Amino acid sequence: MDNNINEIKVDDLVFQAMSILTSLRDKNLTDILTLIRKVEGVTTVTLTEAAVPIGEKHEQSMLKLKFVIGPNQNWAQYKDALSKRVIAIDGVLNFEVKKVLDIDKRVVYTR
């Protein structure tokens, strides 16, 4: 049995993103946010302001997410995977990442 532990400096891989979530108004937003928190790598999901109705059936929400990218992934790969997983959640119509902050490097990436 190998007792060696590989150490990864997680701080280098922690990011924060501002994003826009478009969802169905008849789905519970709290439940949707809980499911987003279950996506691999996501550590926190915060609703930054109240959801805004856009038509009778849809609403948009501004979210702040913190997430950790695995050592074998890059930002582009993770962003694609994150978007696909969030859009696959029942009630989610669209998910757009607008701005990303590399917390360790203090670098902002915008779309």
Report if residue 82 sits inside a domain: yes
The domain in which residue 93 lies consists of 10-110
Q: For residue 87, give the amino acid letter.
A: I
pLDDT given for residue 21 in this prediction: 98
Count structural domains, the chain. 1
pLDDT tens digits, one per residue of 47-91: 999 999 999 999 999 999 999 887 777 778 888 999 999 999 999
In the chain the first and final C-alpha atoms are separated, in Å, by: 47
Could you tell me if residue 1 is inside a domain?
A: no
Classify residue 58: in a domain, yes or no.
yes
Domain contains 14: yes
Does 2 reside within a domain? no
The CATH number that applies at residue 80 is 3.30.70.60
> Of 92, 65, 91, 89, which Cα lies nearest the Cα of 79?
65
pLDDT at 47: 97
> Is residue 88 situated within a structural domain?
yes
Question: Is the distance from CB of 53 to CB of 59 less than 8 angstroms?
Answer: yes
Nearest to 26 by CA among 86, 71, 76, 92: 92
Q: What sign does the dihedral 68-28-22-91 (CA atoms) show? A: positive
pLDDT bucket at 8, cuts 50 / 70 / 90: low
Which pTM value belongs to this model? 0.81
Question: Which pair of tokens denotes residue 24?
Answer: 């169905």
Q: How confident is the model over 27-37, as pLDDT tens digits?
A: 999 999 999 99
